[in-house]
């Protein structure tokens, strides 16, 4: 059998398999094909780290993002904007072209987002993953990145975390729990002491 048809068949099989895998991937792990339009090299996001990991309505979540070139050189974003996707248990919400703040450390930028009822309604309560949207970072020189939606599950840095729990009330602190039980107990004790003093005083008057 001719080797050329065999090679062609295997190549077509590989390409079809790749498209099938991309088509079945989760929306939070989509990859752009071809890569972002760029002048020389695509930018890389290697850290996506959010704090706190538990947040309710009114809380503020700060996500630290590190943007570098493929050789590890820090990137100076221009403009200083990035798009983010919040992907939750029942939906998602995208924040396009959000202003980020340079931290003073080359390549590091902070994205601040308040937790609102609209956000929780869009994503659902529980686990939410914050991702940098593909091609939303730019160095102003025609280079863009990352080439795919990027979150802490896809970076090579094990210490970052962009998976949160939102909309679930945080448990009270130990001090608050102590105060919850101590204050009513203290009131009861004071009332008992006041009653005893009143009865003692009344008995003293009766004896006179």
- The tens digit of pLDDT for each residue in 108-155 reads 999 999 999 999 999 999 999 999 999 999 999 999 999 999 999 999
Same domain, 97 and 59: yes
CB-based contacts of 99, cutoff 8 Å, min separation 6: 80, 81
Question: What's the structural domain count of the chain?
Answer: 2
Which has more pLDDT, 156 or 129?
129
Domain limits for position 16: 1-28
Residue 92 lies in a domain: yes
Same domain, 72 and 61: yes
Same domain, 4 and 100: no
Would you state the pLDDT for residue 151?
A: 98
Same domain, 56 and 159: yes
pLDDT band at 100 (very low <50, low <70, confident <90, very high): very high
Instruction: Label the pairing between strands 54-55 and 163-166.
Output: parallel
Residue 150 lies in a domain: yes
Residue 204 lies in a domain: no
Same domain, 3 and 75: no
Q: Are 59 and 168 in contact (CB under 8 A)?
A: no
Same domain, 103 and 136: yes
Residue 113 lies in a domain: yes
pLDDT band at 24 (very low <50, low <70, confident <90, very high): very low
Same domain, 81 and 155: yes
DSSP 22-67: HHHS-GGG-B-SSPPP-SS---EEEEEEEE-SEE-TT-EEEEEEEE
Residue 183 lies in a domain: no
Q: Are 137 and 88 in contact (CB under 8 A)?
A: no
Total residues found in the chain within this entry: 208
CA angle 79, 160, 120 (to 5 degrees): 75
Residue 189 lies in a domain: no
Same domain, 92 and 15: no
Same domain, 21 and 95: no
Residue 69 lies in a domain: yes
Would you state the pLDDT for residue 199?
A: 78
- What is the DSSP code (8-state) at residue 74? B
Q: What is the CATH number of the domain that holds 111?
A: 2.60.40
CB-based contacts of 75, cutoff 8 Å, min separation 6: 43, 67, 68, 69, 107, 137, 139
Mean pLDDT over each residue of the chain, to the nearest integer: 82
Name the most confidently modeled range: 71-85, 164-178, 181-195.
71-85
Above 60 in pLDDT, residue 206?
Answer: yes
Same domain, 11 and 96: no
Query: pLDDT over 70 for what percent of the chain?
Result: 75
Which has more pLDDT, 131 or 5?
131
Same domain, 22 and 97: no
Distances (CA, A) of 163 to 60, 134, 149, 151: 15, 18, 14, 8
Would you state the pLDDT for residue 11?
A: 39
Residue 45 lies in a domain: yes
Q: Are 47 and 109 in contact (CB under 8 A)?
A: no
Same domain, 120 and 139: yes
């Amino acid at each position: 059998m001719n080797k050329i048809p065999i090679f062609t068949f295997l190549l077509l099989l590989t390409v079809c398999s790749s498209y099938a895998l991309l088509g079945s991937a989760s929306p939070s792990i989509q990859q752009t094909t071809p890569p972002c339009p760029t002048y020389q090299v695509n930018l890389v996001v290697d850290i996506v780290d959010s704090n706190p990991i538990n947040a309710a309505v009114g809380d503020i979540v700060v996500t630290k993002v590190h943007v570098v070139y493929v050789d590890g050189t820090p990137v100076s974003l221009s403009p200083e904007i990035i798009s983010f996707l919040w992907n939750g248990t029942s939906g998602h919400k995208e924040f396009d072209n959000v202003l980020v703040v340079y931290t003073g450390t080359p390549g590091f930028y902070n994205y601040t987002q308040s937790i609102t009822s609209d956000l929780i309604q869009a994503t659902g309560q529980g686990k939410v993953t914050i991702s940098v949207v593909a091609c939303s970072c730019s160095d102003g020189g025609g280079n863009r990145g990352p080439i795919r939606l990027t979150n802490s599950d896809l970076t090579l840095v094990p210490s970052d975390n962009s998976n949160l729990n939102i909309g679930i009330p945080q448990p009270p602190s130990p001090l608050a729990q102590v105060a919850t039980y101590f204050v009513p107990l203290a009131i009861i004790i004071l009332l008992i002491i006041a009653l005893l003093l009143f009865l003692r005083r009344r008995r003293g008057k009766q004896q006179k």
